[in-house]
Amino acid sequence: MAAHMLHRLRVVFLEFEQRLFGFIRGYPPHGIGGVFPIADTQPNTFPTDQQCIRDGSIDKQTSLLERLVGDGFFWAVPKNRRTVERRMTRRMGYQKLINSRHDLVTCLHCGHYHQAKTICGNCYAKVQAETKVIMDAMQIEKWEDRVKHSDKDVTVLYER
Amino acid sequence: MNPGPTKWPKYNQVVWEPQKPDEPRRPAEIFHHRANIKYSPKKLWYIASWIRGMSIDEAIKQLSFHPQVGSHTVKEILLEAQDLAVKNHGVEYKSNLWIAESLAGRSSYIKGLRRHGRARYGMVEYKYCHYMVKLQEGSPPEHYYPPPPNHWQMMEEYLANWRRRTVLNGLKS
């Protein structure tokens, strides 16, 4: 039933296109009294002619839009099924797998691992904690603000 | 909620018969898992397949520096498994373990709605997954998966295939 509906739609569309082009040309599709003002190489076969539909030759007629657009009314659609081999290669092939890192080194002070050419995270955390205690005592928010106390001498005292 | 893998934890209850003196020592196997992790199983598969065949120390080290969220979860599970290995399975050295099997499985998906513009709605899936790991005592093998054959092996395979041919309806030799 859906196929029949689509066929009817196509016939209607072809008919509309022929009428439209006839209007643009200046004479109706079948000519005036069967005579065409300009000699046409291809005589118009009006789509709603029952003979066309009974023959099946309606299906051979292509509208201008069909010729321009090509196969199908829908664009940007997959043409062929992607095989399972291609699907798996795309998802699980070497380009998608995780690669191990070779730039992880041991810290000489604490023994934790860290990215090479960067500070050890564990050591940095210790430094941060110490700095926070000093900053709380100096009552400053940022380490850069310590120079504001330059009028006073600040000594950090480490208690045993 | 989803009960999780049922067979995997049962592998821990397998009791082997005592080994004969001349048999090579059977390495300890520790099966551990975590069910219903709020993560996509497809994403977890990449992490699970990456750490297969690594020693446990190497796996924990690599996972610590991997940006994905799932790597943190897997690291926690590996540390749990390492702990259980020492406490319950008689493993002497906690570093003497390697990842023999590492699997990601699907758990239940919960469906929800989300609103788009112009009162259009779309379905959302909240994905849960299971992670299963088997630790084995010893050092990891050189190749977890069979490596591609070298030229000598390829030549031997080629010759073996040609020599394997038989003549149909021929004489028995």
- Model confidence pLDDT, tens digit, residues B92-151: 999 999 999 999 999 999 999 999 999 999 999 999 999 999 999 999 999 999 999 999
Which residues in chain B have their CB less than 8 angstroms from residue A101's CB?
Answer: 62, 65-66
Q: How many CB pairs under 8 A join A and B?
A: 21
B1 to each of B25, B57, B128, how far by Cα in Å?
41, 33, 10
Interface test with B, best of A91, A92, A95, A98 (most B CBs within 10 A): A98
**Total count of residues recorded for chain A:** 160
Q: What pLDDT does residue B84 have?
A: 98
Q: What pLDDT does residue B47 have?
A: 98
Task: Report the range of poorest mean pLDDT among A15-29, A31-45, A59-73.
Answer: A31-45
**Residue found under tokens 């004489």:** B171
- Please give the pLDDT value at position A91: 96
Q: What residues have CB less than 8 Å from B130, skipping those under 6 apart? A: B4, B5, B33, B34, B35, B36, B37, B41, B104, B105, B106, B107
Q: Which of B46, B47, B61 sits opposite A113 (nearest CB)?
A: B61
**Are B80 and B138 within 8 A, CB to CB?**
no
ipTM of the complex: 0.85
**Residues of A with CB below 8 A from B47's CB?**
98
SS3 of B29, please?
strand
Query: What's the predicted TM-score (pTM) here?
Result: 0.72
Ramachandran angles phi, psi of A112, nearest 5°: -80, 160
Chain A contact probe: residue of B64, B69, B102, B144 with most A CBs at under 10 A? B64
Alpha carbons within 13 angstroms on the beta-carbon side of residue B50 total: 25
Rounded to an integer, what distance in angstroms lies between the CA atom of residue B6 and that of residue B75?
Answer: 22
Any CB–CB contact under 8 A between B47 and chain A? yes
**Is-contact A46 A22, C-beta < 8 A?**
no
Q: Which residue has the tokens 């000093």?
A: A134
Contact assessment for residue B134 and residue B30, using Cβ atoms and an 8 Å cutoff:
yes
A100/B62 Cβ within 8 A: yes
Per-residue confidence band for A152, with pLDDT thresholds at 50, 70 and 90: confident
CA of B49 vs chain A CAs: smallest distance (Å)? 8
